[in-house]
């Protein structure tokens, strides 16, 4: 039996539409979900504001969204670990498990990845901002004890857990975070949970820096108002062991290098397009630069950490708007002077 469902579709820059399609019954190993909440991510914003980012452009209409939660509505054959009515966080990561990167355990680099709401391949991979969704049971992490809003934060949290995992040992480290949007704040929480001793956060907005303080940053610096605000950490060739660069801004990265000690690590998480690296300064300090892209197995870990109360994401959820107000939600999400994580109630 087909069910009519509304969805949020980007046709191009500043062209967001709510359209209706039909969704059928789940197949073997699948479930049908009645979606609850969807969080607007930076990549969703890029599609809405600019029609893409870097070389990735919208070439056809695409359903947006990949930070979602929902309730199990119907089970396909062979699904025995989930129950109708159960709240789940839905991982947007769907690797093929058959290519050479999947064989190596690098599922986030799958050659045949089907990641919700991505215009990287063509045809595009349609997203999850819709009222009903057919998903693989393996994508669904039981979220008992969480609210739908919390469960929808599992995806951005997984991004940050993957970044912390890649950068290595965190116990006792001095950490600098540039960019205090949702990813920056979640990197702060993940780094602290992993044992970081001191965390300093920078941004251009007092609102986001206030969120960083609320989330446990030891010191915050507004580099718009105080461009030399990191100068106290320049002494003796720099003080920080690790930089989480979460802004995607070349200026933020360049300004942070002088505060990093020789042998420090830069973990690049922010993606805003191509960046120019201060290679000479990094070379002289023997700084290690590492990229971080998406996640895979960290998704279920993120859900478990939230269920145990070890990472609290609730303060980051600043606004929730109904599906009918999707355009207003996207406009609000792009305003870092008053919004952190904007979510859309999908049903």
Same domain, 23 and 146: yes
Model-level pTM?
Answer: 0.95
Task: Confirm whether 217 is domain-assigned.
Answer: yes
Same domain, 129 and 183: no
Mean pLDDT of 226-253: 96
Contacts of 79 (CB under 8 A, 6+ apart): 26, 29, 30, 31, 137
Same domain, 170 and 200: yes
In three-state form (DSSP H/G/I as H, E/B as E, the rest C), the secondary structure along 255-271 is: HHHCCEEEEEEEEECCC
Same domain, 7 and 141: yes
Mean pLDDT of 106-122: 96
8-state DSSP, 323: G
Measured distance CA(17)–CA(323) in Å, rounded: 11
Measured distance CA(213)–CA(238) in Å, rounded: 23
Instruction: Extract the tokens encoding 145.
Output: 């004890």
**Whose structure tokens read 């600043």?**
318
Mean pLDDT of 271-277: 77
Comparing C-alpha atoms, which of 299, 11, 297, 320 is closest to residue 148? 320
Same domain, 85 and 183: no
Same domain, 258 and 173: yes
- The CA dihedral of 113, 39, 202, 47, to the nearest 10 degrees, is 60
- Please tell me the total count of domains within the chain: 2
Q: What is the pLDDT of residue 2?
A: 80
Comparing C-alpha atoms, which of 87, 105, 107 is closest to residue 96? 107
What is the residue-averaged pLDDT of the chain?
96
| Local structure of 223: helix, strand or coil | coil
Q: How confident is the model at residue 271 (pLDDT cuts 50, 70, 90)?
A: confident
Q: Name the region of 298 (left: φ>0; alpha: ψ -120 to 50; beta: rest).
A: alpha
Q: How confident is the model at residue 55 (pLDDT cuts 50, 70, 90)?
A: confident
Same domain, 149 and 283: no
Task: Confirm whether 247 is domain-assigned.
Answer: yes
Task: Confirm whether 328 is domain-assigned.
Answer: yes
Task: Confirm whether 297 is domain-assigned.
Answer: no
Residue with more model confidence, 302 or 336: 302
Same domain, 223 and 335: no
Comparing C-alpha atoms, which of 116, 100, 107 is closest to residue 43? 116
Q: How confident is the model at residue 273 (pLDDT cuts 50, 70, 90)?
A: low
Residue 277 has pLDDT above 90, yes or no: no
Mean pLDDT of 283-305: 96
Report pLDDT digits (tens) over 195-229: 999 999 999 999 999 999 999 999 999 999 999 99
Residue 152 has pLDDT above 80, yes or no: yes
Tell me, what CATH number does 179's domain have?
3.40.50.720
- The CA dihedral of 176, 192, 204, 54, to the nearest 10 degrees, is 80
Q: Distances from the Cα of 35 to the Cαs of 6, 67, 140, 144, in angstroms?
A: 11, 11, 12, 16
Find how far residue 300's CA is from the centre of its chain: 14
For every residue of 87-153, DSSP letters joined together read EEEE------S-SHHHHTT-GGG-TT---TTB-SSSS-B--S-BSEEEEEGGGEEE-TTS-HHHHTT
**Whose structure tokens read 């006792």?**
172
∠ CA 171-174-179, nearest 5°, is 115
Tell me, what CATH number does 19's domain have?
3.90.180.10
Comparing C-alpha atoms, which of 92, 65, 99, 70 is closest to residue 82? 70
Report pLDDT digits (tens) over 319-330: 999 999 999 999
Q: Distances from the Cα of 123 to the Cαs of 46, 120, 132, 226, 243, in angstroms?
A: 18, 9, 21, 45, 36
Mean pLDDT of 71-95: 97
Same domain, 13 and 112: yes
Q: What is the pLDDT of residue 65?
A: 98
- Gyration radius of the chain's alpha carbons: 20
Measured distance CA(1)–CA(104) in Å, rounded: 40
Task: Confirm whether 308 is domain-assigned.
Answer: no
Residue 272 has pLDDT above 80, yes or no: no
Strand-pair partners of 90 = 68, 140
Task: Confirm whether 26 is domain-assigned.
Answer: yes
Task: Confirm whether 331 is domain-assigned.
Answer: yes
In terms of residue numbers, what domain contains 88? 3-153+313-345
**Long-range contacts, stretch 276-282, CB < 8 angstroms, 24+ apart:** 276/250, 277/250, 277/253, 278/253, 278/254, 281/254, 281/257, 282/257
Same domain, 185 and 320: no
Q: What is the pLDDT of residue 275?
A: 80
Same domain, 24 and 138: yes
Q: Is 32 buried (19+), middle (13-18) or exposed (0-12) by CB count in 10 A?
A: buried
Same domain, 26 and 143: yes
Task: Confirm whether 119 is domain-assigned.
Answer: yes
């Amino acid at each position: 039996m087909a069910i009519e469902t509304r969805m949020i579709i980007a046709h191009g820059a500043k062209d967001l539409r709510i359209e209706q399609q039909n969704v059928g019954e789940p197949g073997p190993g699948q479930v049908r979900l009645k979606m609850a909440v969807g969080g607007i991510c930076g990549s969703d914003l890029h599609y809405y504001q600019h029609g893409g980012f870097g070389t990735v452009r919208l070439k056809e209409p695409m359903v947006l969204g990949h930070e979602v939660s929902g309730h199990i509505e119907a089970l396909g054959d062979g699904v025995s670990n989930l129950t109708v009515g159960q709240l789940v966080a839905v991982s947007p990561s769907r690797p093929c498990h058959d290519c050479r990167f999947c064989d190596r355990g690098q599922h986030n680099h799958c050659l045949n990845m089907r990641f919700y709401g991505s215009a990287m391949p063509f045809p595009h991979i349609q997203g999850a901002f819709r009222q009903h969704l057919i998903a693989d049971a393996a994508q669904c992490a039981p979220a008992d004890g969480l609210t739908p809003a919390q469960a929808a934060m599992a995806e951005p949290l997984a991004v940050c857990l993957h970044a912390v995992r890649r950068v290595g040992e965190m116990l006792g480290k001095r950490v600098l975070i540039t960019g205090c949007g949702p990813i920056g704040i979640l990197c702060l929480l993940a780094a602290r949970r992993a044992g970081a001793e001191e965390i300093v956060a920078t941004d251009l907005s007092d609102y986001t820096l206030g969120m960083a303080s609320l989330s446990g940053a030891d010191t915050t610096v507004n580099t718009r108002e105080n461009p030399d605000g990191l100068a106290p950490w320049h002494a003796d060739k720099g003080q920080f062991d690790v930089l989480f660069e979460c802004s995607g801004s070349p200026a933020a990265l360049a300004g942070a290098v002088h505060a990093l000690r020789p042998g420090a690590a830069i973990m690049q998480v922010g993606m805003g397009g191509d960046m120019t690296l201060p290679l000479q300064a990094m070379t002289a300090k023997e700084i290690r630069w590492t990229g971080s892209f998406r996640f895979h197995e960290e998704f279920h870990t993120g859900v478990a950490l939230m269920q145990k109360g070890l990472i609290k994401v609730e303060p980051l959820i600043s606004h929730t708007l109904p599906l009918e107000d999707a355009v207003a939600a996207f406009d609000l999400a792009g305003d870092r002077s008053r919004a952190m994580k904007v979510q859309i109630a999908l049903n």
